[in-house]
Amino acid sequence: MISFIKGLGIVTGGLVGELNTRGFGEIKDGKLLLSPEEVLYLMEKRKRINVEDEKGKELGFKEILSAASRSDKMFPIKYLVYKDLRDRGYIVKTGFKFGAHYRVYPRGVKPGEGHAAWLIHVIKENKKIEFPEISRSVRLANNVRKKMIFAVVDKEGDITYYLIDRFTP
């Protein structure tokens, strides 16, 4: 069972170790804290997981998606990218402190045991992005020894990944 309180999923009990071993959440004070993306992904993939609010009311997928979207207008397309990456076998964590939406670990590498290889920034296909922003993102990714990938999501929900690297002649 997952409690969804103030935008975070909170897991206690037997699921903590199992989910954390599979690359979900972060353990804090014996509880596993999950991002909204992780909660939704687990709801989709593991049908036996129930999610409740602080009052014990069961929440559905659409309710959590709506709650997360209220605080982050980009959340629906960010979730599409998160889901796509997890379905491909990658562990995906927040990239907030790196100035990106996500950081992604290569297959077989777990957080704490190795480092993320890529930073992912999600954008809508019709959003203009200025060259200085691209340059800043790539430079920052290189400074932390990661590759910068822009995930462009179109109107149909299809995702195209663009790896942009720094070249020094």
Task: Name every residue whose Cβ is closer than 8 Å to that of residue 52 and which is 6 or more positions away in sequence.
Answer: 1, 2, 3, 4, 58, 59
Q: What is the pLDDT of residue 74?
A: 94
**115 a catalytic residue:** yes
Q: List the catalytic residue out of 41, 90, 102, 105.
A: 105
Does the pLDDT value for residue 49 go beyond 80? no
Does the pLDDT value for residue 83 go beyond 90? yes
For 92-141, write each residue's pLDDT tens digit: 999 888 889 999 999 989 888 899 999 999 999 999 999 999 999 999 99
Does the pLDDT value for residue 47 go beyond 80? no
For 56-76, write each residue's pLDDT tens digit: 888 888 998 998 999 899 999
Q: What is the pLDDT of residue 10?
A: 86
Structural domains for the chain: 1-71 (3.40.1170.20), 72-169 (3.40.1350.10)
Least confident of 37-51, 83-97, 124-138: 37-51
**146 a catalytic residue:** yes
Closest CA to 95 of 57, 149, 42: 149
Q: What is the pLDDT of residue 127?
A: 92
Burial 122-160 (b: 16+ CB within 10 A, else e): bbeeeeeeeeeeeeebbeebeeeebbbbbbbbeeeeebe
Q: What is the pLDDT of residue 57?
A: 85
Q: List the catalytic residue out of 115, 124, 127, 161.
A: 115
pTM of the full predicted structure? Answer: 0.90
For 136-166, write each residue's pLDDT tens digit: 999 999 999 999 999 999 999 999 999 999 8
